[in-house]
Amino acid sequence: MPPMGNTEASYGAVAIALHWVMAALLIGLAFLGLYMVALPDVGFDTRKITLILYHKELGMVALALFVVRLAWRVTSILPHLVGHLPDWQKVAARFVHLCFYALMFALPITGWLMSSAAGIPVFFLRTFTLPDLIGRNDHLFMQLIEIHKWLSYALLVLIVVHAAAALRHHFVYRDDTLRKMLP
């Protein structure tokens, strides 16, 4: 079992848990989003509405976990990248991670803004209603749908790039890049 906190050589249990929980949650939210928007809007089938409600609540959980993860990240040591990396790969790795953080914030916020613009409440774990961020605005709602959609696509591309890079380091370079993030 790794230590709770990060060291200069590896990630700690908290960072590892946050990484994998967020990864599973974000991938699940992306695929749930793709599935639910493909469902028809007509008829008496309430499945689409139910899935949208789950998607929104899980999105708010993702936002809360993002805040925890960001707080952990800024207060913890960041392990060193493996030594053999060329500078361009170090820059690319940091850039991808910064993009992940931006998307982990932007996606739930655009979803919340979308709901506010549509006049539909957002709940957090079915315990309380979050306040609207903006007033009802149908035109803005349609714009936010597009923004949220393209941010989701960007997230999926980054996940693929990130996973491919980690697997390449593990199987081609045979270094500790992936092992540092495994429990």
Query: Is 6 within a domain?
Result: no
Task: Give the pLDDT score at 44.
Answer: 73
Task: Give the pLDDT score at 45.
Answer: 77
User: Is-above-0.85 flag for pTM?
Assistant: yes
**Torsions phi, psi for 109 (to 5 deg):** -65, -45
Structural domains of the chain, count: 1
- Spell out the alpha helix ranges (H) of the chain: 13-38, 47-75, 87-118, 138-168
Query: Is 46 within a domain?
Result: yes
Residues whose CB is less than 8 angstroms from the CB of residue 158 and which lie 6 or more positions away in sequence, other chains included: 96, 99, 100, 103
Taking the chain (183 residues) in runs of 10, the rounded mean pLDDT of each run is 91 97 98 94 84 96 98 96 91 96 98 97 94 98 98 97 96 94 91
Q: Count other Cβ atoms within 10 Å, centred on residue 60.
A: 17
Range of the domain at 102: 13-181
Task: Give the pLDDT score at 7.
Answer: 95
Query: Is 5 within a domain?
Result: no
Task: Give the pLDDT score at 41.
Answer: 85
Placement of tokens 């695929």 in the chain: 31
- CATH number of the domain at 157, please: 1.20.950
Query: Is 27 within a domain?
Result: yes
